[in-house]
Amino acid sequence: MEQGKHWKREIHWNGEKRFSQVPLYLVGGFSAFAVSLYGPFINFYAVLLGASFIAMGWLTSVRNLFTNVLQIIWGYLADVTGKRKLIFIGYLFIGVVVFLVVFIENTLLLILAVTVLSILLSLTMPAWVAVMGDYSSESTRGKVVGLVGAVSQFSSVVAYVVVAALTYNSSSETGLSNMKIAFILSGFSALLASITALGLKEKKRLRAGEGIKINLKEVLKNRVYRKFLLITGFNGFSMSVSWPIFPYLTVKLTNAETWEMALIWASWSLSNSISQRFFGRKTDMWGRKPVMLTGRIMLFTIPLGFILARSWLHLVVTMLLAGVLMAMAMVSETAYIIDSSVEERRGTYTAVYNTAQGFLTFTGSMVGGGLTDMFTQLASDLYAAYIVLFLSTMLRLISGSMYIFVDETVNVEPSMKGNLRSSTFLKPGRQVN
């Protein structure tokens, strides 16, 4: 078969028909490039526009809520109408809206734009997780999730390095203009993600009317998944309390310029990319639970890193650690969700998880922004932020410890470890899955 036709080629591996993974990597790379730029830079953009702690709380909260609140509907549509279609539509309009952000210089309009972007991103999320399920089997799921995650995060590193290079010689007075460079690059990449999504393959769909009536009942009856939802929900609340404060400290405390902000996030993406590849394999070998528990419980160190930071370089170290810990959580939890769900309803299972996360992280960010604003009546802005970060540290430690009660979803036997070590996911000269 001619080189270049692997886009649509179906490949047999271990007796199972699989799809070429090239479109999966392309969509993951372009979408990560887009989201990684508009995501954090909109927060920094808001701080430079003079947003208060309350406004930052709202900005973070609406993102958390609307990225997730419609997930049940989107998950059902992904299962019925097809995953590729939703991914295409979502990133097409994300590109358009991000281009429009360039013209916004008002906090209220920025919050509105973030709301629209969050809804569009949520459209793609259950479909994307379900597509990764289509491209993997139980024994390779962690590897597939880890490899795709690694490719995506490496794309994020490239995005941040490009922004850093383009803004390196700019003065601090051009901060808003520098942010707009990131938004333009993000918009173009989102459009590329939309186009490459047309090359994705997917497995069987549900018939209309099959899923939405029974899926919620199915999730509630699934004891393993129900326990997972409760624990991850509490952890999501605990994590999100500190999220409105991180951009403020990055801009106001360390006085980071645009290229320094880009390198701070590049350090996160680099360590996350390398770690996802590594822990993607380990979660198949060791099981989901130990990787998930270790990653989540150690995330209490990140607010402490922001409390101790005195320069942007200190934040680089903190974000390097955060990238590793989040990779452990992301790979293991994504694999866990796929493990716990039925194949033809993975989109809906993912949606239920994300909806729960949306409501609880919305609440957490509102609490974080509101408490910080309240404490500014008693202390300086800086010390008010420190108080709430310390509270978030304690909550993260407690909620991370709760993962010890999560049930393992895979049976990992000693013989299986040896087989996984000797099985290379992508062998030279061979296209797999």
**Percent of the chain predicted with pLDDT > 70:** 83
The pLDDT of residue 69 is: 83
Q: State yes or no: pLDDT of 8 exceeds 90.
A: no
**Percent of the chain predicted with pLDDT > 90:** 46
The pLDDT of residue 319 is: 95
Provide the pLDDT confidence category of residue 72 given band limits of 50, 70 and 90.
confident
Whole-prediction pTM: 0.77
Q: What is the mean pLDDT of residues 176-186?
A: 90
* Higher-scoring residue by pLDDT: 217, 377: 377
Provide the pLDDT confidence category of residue 188 given band limits of 50, 70 and 90.
very high
Q: What is the mean pLDDT of residues 80-90?
A: 88
The pLDDT of residue 78 is: 81
* Higher-scoring residue by pLDDT: 237, 70: 237
Provide the pLDDT confidence category of residue 270 given band limits of 50, 70 and 90.
confident
Q: What is the mean pLDDT of residues 123-143?
A: 78
Pick the closest to residue 299 from 328, 259, 335 (CA basis). Answer: 328
The pLDDT of residue 257 is: 87
Q: State yes or no: pLDDT of 194 exceeds 60.
A: yes
Provide the pLDDT confidence category of residue 16 given band limits of 50, 70 and 90.
very low
Q: State yes or no: pLDDT of 6 exceeds 50.
A: no
Exposed / middle / buried, residue 178 (Cβ in 10 Å: 0-12, 13-18, 19+): buried
Q: What are the φ/ψ torsions at residue 12 (nearest 5 degrees)?
A: -100, 130
- Are 45 and 179 spatial neighbours (Cβ–Cβ below 8 Å)? yes
The pLDDT of residue 101 is: 94
d(CA 344, CA 78): 10
Q: What is the mean pLDDT of residues 334-361?
A: 80
The pLDDT of residue 430 is: 28
The pLDDT of residue 163 is: 92
Q: State yes or no: pLDDT of 62 exceeds 70.
A: yes
Q: What is the mean pLDDT of residues 327-331?
A: 90
pLDDT per residue over 103-123, tens digit each? Answer: 998 999 999 999 999 999 989
The pLDDT of residue 303 is: 96
The pLDDT of residue 162 is: 94
* Higher-scoring residue by pLDDT: 19, 131: 131
Q: State yes or no: pLDDT of 43 exceeds 80.
A: yes
- Are 282 and 331 spatial neighbours (Cβ–Cβ below 8 Å)? no
The pLDDT of residue 428 is: 27
* Higher-scoring residue by pLDDT: 31, 417: 31
pLDDT per residue over 362-373, tens digit each? Answer: 999 999 999 999
Provide the pLDDT confidence category of residue 173 given band limits of 50, 70 and 90.
low
The pLDDT of residue 426 is: 26
pLDDT per residue over 221-264, tens digit each? Answer: 788 888 999 999 999 999 999 999 999 999 888 888 889 999 99
In the chain, the domains with their CATH numbers are: 24-204+214-412 (1.20.1250.20)
